[in-house]
Every structure is written in C-alpha cells, then in structure tokens.
Amino acid sequence: MKRIAVFTSGGDAPGMNACIRAVVRGAVYHGIEVFGIRRGYNGMINGDIFQMTSHSVSNIVQRGGTILKSARSKEFMTVEGRKKAYDQLQKFGIEGLVAIGGNGTFTGATIFYDEYGIPTVGAPGTIDNDLYGTDYTIGFDTAVNTALEAIDKIRDTADSHDRIFFIEVMGRDSGYIAIQSGIAGGAEMVMVPEVLTPISEVVNVLKQGWSRQKSSSIIVVAEGEEEGNAVEVAEKIRKQVDPDIDMRVTTLGHIQRGGIPTAYDRILASRLGLGALEGLMDGHKNEMAGVINNELVYTPFRDTIRLPKPINQDLLRMVKILSV
C-alpha cells in the first residue's frame, strides 16, 4: 500500500487530533503517502482531499476538536453518494483508509468495502465509550473529567443551598460517562439506559438520605435514560416528594465534547492511530483497532457495530453502597 487517507467522522472527540497526528507521522515514518479528507464522508464525496506531511500535524497533539473537521454525512448513506466518494478516491489514487469515529462511521466503511473493495481500519473516536472491541474510546476520559469538574462545582451550590441537583450527561444510549463521572463526583445515584431504575428507587434513596440529615444530593442522569431526560426525571420525582424541596436541573451538553484532551486520551489516541495505520499496512480491513487489557487488538467492524458493550454492574452497585 503506497497511498492512504485519514478522516474523522461523527461527533468530534478530544484526542482525535492526536490520533490524526499518529496516522500521519506513522505513514511518513513507513514511507507511505498520506492524504487528509475534510468533513468525513462529505469531504470524500466532494473531493475535499489534500496531501499531508509531518508538518501538517505539528502542534495539534494538545488540541481538542479535529483539524480535519467532522460531519455526519447523509449523502454517504446513498448509493449515488458512495459512487461519488469512490470516484474521488480513485482520482487521488487512494488505496486504503483510516477512519476515526464511531458506529455510524464504521457502518459506512463496511458498506463501502462491500461495494468498492476499499479497505478501512478504524480508530474508535467518540466520547460515548459505546464501542465493543476496546476498553476505552478516544475522548471518553476527557469527557468524564469535564463532567466531573462541573459536578464538583455544582456540588458546592447543592451543599450551600441544601438542594437536589439532577445533572444530565451525554452518552447517547450508553451510561459510561454517567457512571464514571457519578462515582468520581460522589453522586447519590446514577441513572443509566442499560439498567432500569424506577423513579420509586430514586425517591427511596433521597428519603433515606433525608432521614440521615443529608441535606443535598446529586443525581447523575445519562441522556439516554429510560425514565426520560433530567428535566423529566426531576418532574416525576417532584410529584412523589414534598413539593417545597429545592431541586434544580443542569444539562451539561456539548461542553463534554470539546477541550484539551487528557494525557490518557492523547496516549490512547496515539496508540490507536498508529495501530490503525500499521494494521492497514499489514492487510487488516474492516476492523477497528482497540486496546483491551492494555493490548492492541483488532475487532471486525461488524462486531463493534452489532455487539453491545456491557457496563460494569459492580460499579453501579458501588454507587449505592458509597452513598449510604
């Protein structure tokens, strides 16, 4: 393989730049020509493709976002869109791809390979940590730390005003950010989509706390929670407790997506970027590079897409015990 391209796709995640850097510098090291594609699959369709050098990725290891920009492409989901993308790759002589993204990105790459035979190796870039085939995804650690910083600050107000705070964190259908930020932030309860948490259980935890003179509480709610978003959960709870109890809701939103990547994310991203590139060179295709038990592994896209990534039930149990 003499010429490859790298792109970022789906939601941006802190550490994507460190990953791009590893792909580009790895390619330069191995004597392979490397191109960047801007705005994910949209850039592939529009031919927004440019040659990269070692210098193109200087001074980005510490930056959040993605210098290649990102998009969720509707056009790539169409047969016509993928044909245009193939024609552009042919024009530039690109023989293989490194895709940095999540489930949607890898689904697109799989269909594209079936139709046109262009191999892709992926690096898992999403704050949600919802991909089977890696212990952690690029950006997750930074997102957890961002959420934690917010929780710590909100705790000051919760304590000063004797309030209950419902804090909604991101994660789409995954509860990973909620569990980790909740444990680290000392939350009284964490509500995640993977486990049914009846409203009555939350009410019980709050009542038990009040009976022990606990005057403030933090409930972390994952955005995909079955009982609804944090506003809806708070409303349901208000109906079952003294209506004069002081409650507030904070939705953290996109602050969790940006920011300076943690050391952990930069190292993981560098490892996975180089792992994806070298995997592609070694003939891997339609697989994602991941790190499991500190070992670099490759998992077929079809498994990363299809198989659920279970949460650690022990951690949820721990939240209950530690909030006594």
Catalog residues that contact ligand F6P under the rule CB under 6 A. Answer: 11, 126-128, 170-172, 223, 257
Write down the least CB distance from residue 19 to ligand F6P, Å.
16
Question: Kind of pairing, strands 33-37 and 49-52?
Answer: antiparallel
The CA-atom distances, in angstroms, between 96 and each of 8, 86, 88, 208 are 15, 11, 13, 58
Please confirm, yes or no, whether 128 is among the known catalytic residues: yes
CB-nearer residue toward ligand F6P: 95 or 173: 173
Q: What are the tokens at 216?
A: 């403030």
Residue by residue, DSSP assigns 39-71 as THHHHHHHT-EEEE-GGGGTT-TT--S-TT---
- Which residue, 46 or 229, has its beta carbon nearer to ligand F6P? 229
103-139 in b/e form (b: 16+ CB < 10 A) is bbbbbbbbebbeeeebbbbbbbbbbbbbbbbbebbbb
Least distance in angstroms from the C-beta of 106 to ligand F6P: 13
What is the C-alpha separation between 227 and 25, in angstroms, rounded? 46
Closer CB to ligand F6P, 84 or 172, in the complex: 172
Q: Which is nearer to ligand F6P, 253 or 283 (CB)?
A: 253
Asked if 181 and 211 touch (Cβ cutoff 8 Å), the reply is no
In the set 48, 114, 128, 141, the catalytic residue is: 128
The C-alpha atoms of residue 254 and residue 192 are separated, in whole angstroms, by 19
Question: Measured between alpha carbons, how far is 32 from 21 in angstroms, rounded to an integer?
Answer: 14
Strand 287-292 vs strand 295-300: parallel, antiparallel, or unpaired? antiparallel
**Shortest reach from residue 174's CB to ligand F6P, in Å:** 8
Of 36 and 224, CB closest to ligand F6P: 224
Residues with catalytic roles: 128
